């Protein structure tokens, strides 16, 4: 009985099938032929996942798209980029407020340098020039006239490099970098203020001489 059943199954599989259009289709053993009016569909029986063969899931049957349910944790950032807004909530770029020293030099034009050492176990715990602070600023960033700039060169001397045009001041008077930084900034402000005062005095003296001369 079992042999006869196996023989009939082999005969059905190996025998050609005729569709309603009169075409003969020979399918392998791992294919299933589904015949409908005016067309024929061949479905592969082999499946490597738990998804349905026709590609439809339960979410699609219920009318819900699975991709729409995911919300990125950076969605707010993406929306901000699409709207063209900044993180400040504005649509136009705003320059930050520039801070100036008393002498008129912008703080972002001033550079500070210091020497740092690693943690020391043996004495001495303080190394040479550890608290020293150097200030560097380009002379073109100091708002001075030609006469005031000449006077400033006479005041600072060789601290102003004429080749690079960089003014360098240093302070190691205190045992703290913060205090030395304040002191070197005060030195710059006093030098610029003195240059302005002396230049104004020179201009007044020249104007007085001009009026006194016949």
Question: Has residue 79 been placed in a domain?
Answer: no
Question: Has residue 148 been placed in a domain?
Answer: yes
DSSP state of 92: S
CB 140 within 8 A of CB 108: no
Going by C-alpha positions, the residue among 206, 205, 171 that lies closest to residue 190 is 171
Query: Residue 128: what pLDDT?
Result: 83
Tokens coding 107 = 């703080």
- Count of structural domains within the chain: 2
Contacts of 97 by beta carbon, 8 Å cutoff, 6+ apart: none
Spatial separation of the C-alpha atoms in residues 134 and 205, rounded to whole Å: 36
Contacts of 161 by beta carbon, 8 Å cutoff, 6+ apart: 167, 168
Spatial separation of the C-alpha atoms in residues 114 and 127, rounded to whole Å: 12
Question: Has residue 147 been placed in a domain?
Answer: yes
Shared domain for 38 and 111, answered yes or no, is: no
Shared domain for 34 and 118, answered yes or no, is: no
Coil, strand or helix: which one is 52?
Answer: coil
CB 111 within 8 A of CB 136: yes
What are 53-95's pLDDT values in tens digits? 444 445 554 555 555 678 888 888 888 888 887 767 777 777 7
Question: Has residue 7 been placed in a domain?
Answer: yes
Question: Has residue 61 been placed in a domain?
Answer: no
Shared domain for 22 and 111, answered yes or no, is: no
Give the pLDDT band (50/70/90) at residue 9. Answer: low
Shared domain for 116 and 206, answered yes or no, is: yes
Range of the domain at 2: 1-44
pTM over 0.75? The answer is no
What are 11-34's pLDDT values in tens digits? 765 555 544 444 444 544 444 454
Question: Has residue 136 been placed in a domain?
Answer: yes
DSSP state of 47: -
What are 131-158's pLDDT values in tens digits? 999 999 999 999 999 999 999 999 999 9
Give the pLDDT band (50/70/90) at residue 129. Answer: confident
Question: Has residue 71 been placed in a domain?
Answer: no
* CATH label of the domain that carries residue 193: 3.30.160.20
Sign of the dihedral through C-alpha 171, 174, 175, 180: negative
Spatial separation of the C-alpha atoms in residues 147 and 198, rounded to whole Å: 9
Question: Has residue 180 been placed in a domain?
Answer: yes
User: Domain end: 44, 60, 75, which one?
Assistant: 44
pLDDT greater at residue 179 or residue 46: 179
């Amino acid at each position: 009985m079992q042999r006869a059943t196996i023989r009939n199954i082999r005969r059905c599989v190996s025998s050609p099938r005729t569709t309603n259009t009169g075409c003969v289709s020979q399918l392998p053993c791992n294919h299933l032929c589904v015949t409908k009016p005016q067309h024929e569909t061949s479905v592969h029986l082999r499946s490597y996942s738990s998804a349905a063969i026709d590609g439809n899931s339960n979410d699609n049957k219920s009318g819900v798209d699975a991709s729409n349910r995911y919300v990125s944790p950076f969605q707010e950032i993406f929306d901000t980029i699409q709207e063209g807004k900044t993180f400040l909530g504005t649509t136009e770029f705003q320059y930050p407020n520039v801070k100036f020293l008393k002498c008129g030099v912008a703080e972002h034009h001033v550079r500070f340098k210091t020497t740092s050492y690693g943690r020391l176990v043996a004495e001495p715990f303080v190394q040479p020039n550890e608290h020293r602070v150097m200030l560097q600023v380009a002379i073109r960033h100091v708002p001075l006239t030609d006469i005031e700039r000449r006077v400033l060169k006479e005041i600072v001397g060789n601290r102003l490099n004429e080749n690079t045009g960089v003014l360098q001041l240093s302070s190691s008077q205190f045992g703290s970098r913060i205090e030395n930084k304040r002191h070197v900034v005060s030195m710059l402000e006093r030098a610029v203020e003195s240059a302005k005062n002396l230049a104004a005095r020179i201009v007044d003296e020249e104007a007085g001489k001009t009026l006194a001369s016949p």
